Structure 1
Amino acid sequence: MRWIKFPIELLLFVIISSQLVHAASFVPTNDQQILETLPDDSPPPRYLSAADFVSKTDASNLEDTGQLLERAYLQGDPRALGQARAQLDQTTDQSTETLMLKARALQSDHKFTEAKALLQQILSQDPAHPDALLTLSSLLVAQGQFTEALSYCEKLDDPTLRVYQLACSAQIQSMTGQLTPVKQTLSGLAAVAPGLDPSTARWIYLIQADAALRSQDATLSKQVFEAMDDQTVPALMARADWLLSIGQYEQVRELLQDHTDKDALLLRLIEAQMKLGDPKAKQNLALMKERIEVWQIRQENAHMREQASYALLANQVDDALKLAQENWQQQRETADIVLYATAALKANSKKDIEIVRQFIADTQFEYPALERALCLGKISDCLHCQASHEQNASQMARTANSPTDTSGEQTQNKDESL
C-alpha cells in the first residue's frame, strides 16, 4: 500500500530530522572555491538552472518529493531535504498528498504547531485518513503527549491497517507503563516485518530497539540488531545507543568512525572516544563546535538536543542544562528525557530533577535505570553497565559449571558483535 508509506517515513523522520548533517563554519571568498566533495554515490544534479527547477516543480512530482525526504532521513542528507522544501515552496497544489508532505517538511524544522495544523485540516475533511492519523500520533509521541497520541492510533479501525494500528499503540504502551507485556506484541510484529515494506519494518525494529534499551533487555537487543540494517543513520543511532549504554565503547568507535559527517553519529563517536582516551575525541569535539557555530549564525533552533549533548561532552554543565531545558519544550522522546535528566543531575538542579520525575510519574514513562539514577541523585554515563557486567558474570559461571558446553561462550561472542 504505497499511500501508507508517507506517514511511516515520517514516524521515523521525527526521530532524526533535527540530526541532519550541516556544513562546517567555512565561508568561501570566491565562486571558484570548492565547498565539499560529494560522495561517489550521490545522485546526479536535478536542476541545471533556476528555470529548469521551476519547470519541474510546476509538475508537482509528489513521488519525487517523498523520495527526497526519505533520502534526507535515511542518509542524513540535508541537500535532499532542501530540494524537497524548495519543491513544496513552489507548488500551488493543495491536495491531501501535498499537505502531508508539507507537514513532514514543517516537522523537520521542529515547527510542530504548523505541522499539526495541516494534519488537523486533513482530518477535518476526512476523520479516518490513515496517513494523517499516524503522522499526528507520531508528532504527539515526540512531544511526550502520550494519551492524546494513543487516541489517534485507536482511530485506525480499518482491518487492513491492523499492523499499523498495533505498532502505533505498542510504541506508546511500551513507553507508558506496559513495557514488559507489550514486548509480546512487538515480537509478533517483528515476525511479520520482513514481509512488509522497508519503512514499516524499520519502524517496528526501531520501536523494539527503544524498548530493549529502556528495559536493559540484551536478548531483545540482539534479536533486533540482527534483523535491522546497519547502514542507515537511524539504525546506527539505535545500535550505538545500546552499545554506549552497556559500555561497549570500542565497538561504538568501530561502528561510527566513518560517519563523522552525521551530527548525531559524531556526538556518539566522541562520547566513545572520550571514554577510551582516544586523542581524536578532541579533534571531533572541535568539529562539532564548528557546526554549532554555523547553526548559531543562521539562528537555527532545531538543534537543541545536539547542542546540549555537545555541552555535556565539553563539560559545560550550565550551558548544557539551559539547552536541555529549551529542547524539553520541543521534544520528549527517550533521548531527550535522558538528556534533560543527565544535565539536571550533573548541574545538581533539584527543580529540573523534579520536573523529570514528575513527567515520569504523570506519564508512567518506563526506564528503570534512569529512574534509579534520579532517585540516587547521580547518573552514570553507562546506565546499563552493571546489568551488562552481571550478565557476563552469569554467562561465565554457567560456562565454568558446564566445561563441555560451549554455547554460553558462543552466545557471549555473538552479543559482542552487535
Structure 2
Amino acid sequence: MKKPIYALLLLAAATAIQAAPYIPASGAQVIETLPRRGDPVQQELRRMRSELNARPNDLTLATTLATRYITLARSETDPRYLGYAQAALTPWWWLTSPPAPVRLLRATLLQSTHQFEPAMADLKAVLAADPANAQAWLTQATVQTVQGDYAGATASCAHLSTMSIELITITCIANVGTMTGRSLKSEQLLDLTLERSSNAPAGLQVWALTLLAEMAQRRGAADIAEARYKRGQALNPRDSYLLGAYADFLLEQRRAGEVVALLKDQTRIDALLLRRALALQQQGNARKALAEDVKELAARFDAAAQRGDTVHQREQARFELMLRHDPAGALALARKNWAVQKEPADIRIYLESAAQARDAGAAKPVLDWIALHHTEDVAATRLVRQLQTGT
C-alpha cells in the first residue's frame, strides 16, 4: 500500500530562509501582528506546548508538535516556527543516534539551513534502519538535487514509486529531469500527472505547480508560467517559495508594482525583502523606501555573517550585485554559494556576477557544469553568450 507523506513535504521541497534580528526605529513602530489567541491552530499549539513542558521526554508528543511547527513555517511564511520545532526536540537534538522520528525531523531542519552533510548522515541512518521510509527518501532526493548529485537523486526518487502517490514520485523525478537536459519531457509528464491528480492535497499541488511554472519560465513561455503561478497562489497565497519564484518572474517582466503588492507584509523573510527592494529599485520612484530596505538587508546579512550563517549567500550575492553594484563582491559570494548548492538560481547569479565583473574565467566551473548536464535555461544561455562574446 502506498503511504502518504504530506506533513514534512513542503519543507523538503524548498529551503526556508531565516531572518536576522530586527531592531525597530521607535517604540511606536508595529513590527509584528501576532496570531489571534482565538485561532484554533494557535490554541491547539499552546495546548501541545503546555503538555510538552509537563512531559518534555514524551517522544510522540514532541515529534508531533515539531512536525506541526515545520508545516507552519512554510504555510505561514514564518521561519521562527523552525526554531520552535528544534526546541520541541531538545532532549534528543544533540544525541549521536536519536530515535528515528527525531532523526528524520532533525535532518529536515538541518537541510533547511543548508547543513547538508549532517542532514545526509541522519537520512542515511534512518533509511538503513527503515528502507521503506518515504519521507526520508524524498528529503534525501531534495538534498541530492540541490547539491547536484542527480544520479543519487534519481535513485532516491525511484524508491518513492512503491511508497507514495504518483504526484509525489513524478514531481521528484521531474525536479531532477529539469536539471539534466530533459526539461520539456519532464514538464509534460508532470503537467499530465498533475491534471489527473485533482484530489491530491493542496500542498502537493502547489509544489508541482511552482515547479511547472519555473520550468515554463526557464524556456521562455511566460504566459504558461504566469498561469501556473496564479493557480498555485489560488491554492496557497502565503507559500513563501511560490511568492519568491513568482516575484522573480514579475521582476523579469518589469512589473515591479505587482511585486510590491504581492510581498506586502511578507518581508520577514530575507529573500522576500530582497525582492521587494529590487522591485522598488525597478520602479525608481520610491528612493526612501528603497534606502530603508537596503539598510535593513545589509543589517540582516551582517548579522548572519557574525553568526557564521552561510544560508543567505545566494541572496547576498544578488544584493551585492544589484543593489550595492559590487560585481566583485557578488562574484566572491556566488562562488562560495556554488560550492554548497547548484540550483538554476545559483547558476544565474554566478553567471550574472561574472558577466558584470567582466571575468569570464571565473565562470568556468559553471560553464563546464552547464555543458556537462545540458542545462536548459534561456536566461543562462543569454548570460553564457554574453560571457563568451564579452558584450
Task: Return the TM-score normalized by structure 1.
Answer: 0.81
Distance 2:167 2:85 in 1: 29
Match of 1:100 among 84, 88, 104: 104
Distance 2:116 2:55 in 1: 28
Matching residue of 2:69: 68
**Quick check: 1:130–1:156 contact (8 Å CA) kept in 2?**
yes
Distance 1:81 1:335 in 2: 24
One-letter code aligned to 1:374: V
**Quick check: 1:308–1:324 contact (8 Å CA) kept in 2?**
yes
Distance 1:316 1:24 in 2: 25
Matching residue of 1:209: 213
Distance 1:186 1:179 in 2: 10
Q: SS at 2:189's partner residue?
A: helix
Distance 1:160 1:122 in 2: 17
**Quick check: 1:16–1:73 contact (8 Å CA) kept in 2?**
no
Question: Is residue 357 of structure 1 aligned with residue 367 of structure 2?
Answer: yes
Matching residue of 1:394: none
**Quick check: 1:20–1:76 contact (8 Å CA) kept in 2?**
no
Distance 2:261 2:211 in 1: 24
**Quick check: 1:7–1:134 contact (8 Å CA) kept in 2?**
no
Query: How many Å apart are 1:220 and its aligned residue?
Result: 2.1
Matching residue of 2:57: 58
Question: Is residue 164 of structure 1 aligned with residue 168 of structure 2?
Answer: yes
Change (3 A) 1:186 1:333: same
Match of 2:267 among 260, 268, 271: 260
Query: How many Å apart are 1:306 and its aligned residue?
Result: 2.2
Q: Report the count of equivalent residues.
A: 371
Question: Is residue 286 of structure 1 aligned with residue 285 of structure 2?
Answer: no
Q: Residues 8-39 of structure 1, C-alpha deviation per residue, up to 9 Å, x if partnerless? A: 22332xx332x2333225799xxxx8997531
Q: Residues 220-259 of structure 1, C-alpha deviation per residue, up to 9 Å, x if partnerless? A: 2133123112322112112111111222222212222432
Query: How many Å apart are 1:208 and its aligned residue?
Result: 0.7
Change (3 A) 1:258 1:9: closer
Matching residue of 2:318: 309
Change (3 A) 1:157 1:276: closer
Matching residue of 1:321: 331
Identity %: 25
Q: SS at 2:265's partner residue?
A: coil
The gaps in structure 2 that reach 5 residues or longer are 37-41
One-letter code aligned to 2:170: L
Matching residue of 1:270: 277
Task: Return the TM-score normalized by structure 2.
Answer: 0.86
Query: How many Å apart are 1:377 and its aligned residue?
Result: 2.0
For residues 29-40 of structure 1, the aligned pairs below 5 Å read: 37-40=31-34
Change (3 A) 1:38 1:266: closer
Query: How many Å apart are 1:54 and its aligned residue?
Result: 4.2
Distance 1:317 1:113 in 2: 30
One-letter code aligned to 1:55: A
**Quick check: 2:148–2:341 contact (8 Å CA) kept in 1?**
yes
Matching residue of 2:226: 222
Farther-moved stretch of structure 1 (33-42 vs 358-367): 33-42
Change (3 A) 1:198 1:289: same
Query: How many Å apart are 1:121 and its aligned residue?
Result: 0.9
Query: How many Å apart are 1:44 and its aligned residue?
Result: 6.3
The CA RMSD measured in Å over matched residues stands at 2.9
Distance 1:159 1:232 in 2: 26
Matching residue of 1:331: 341
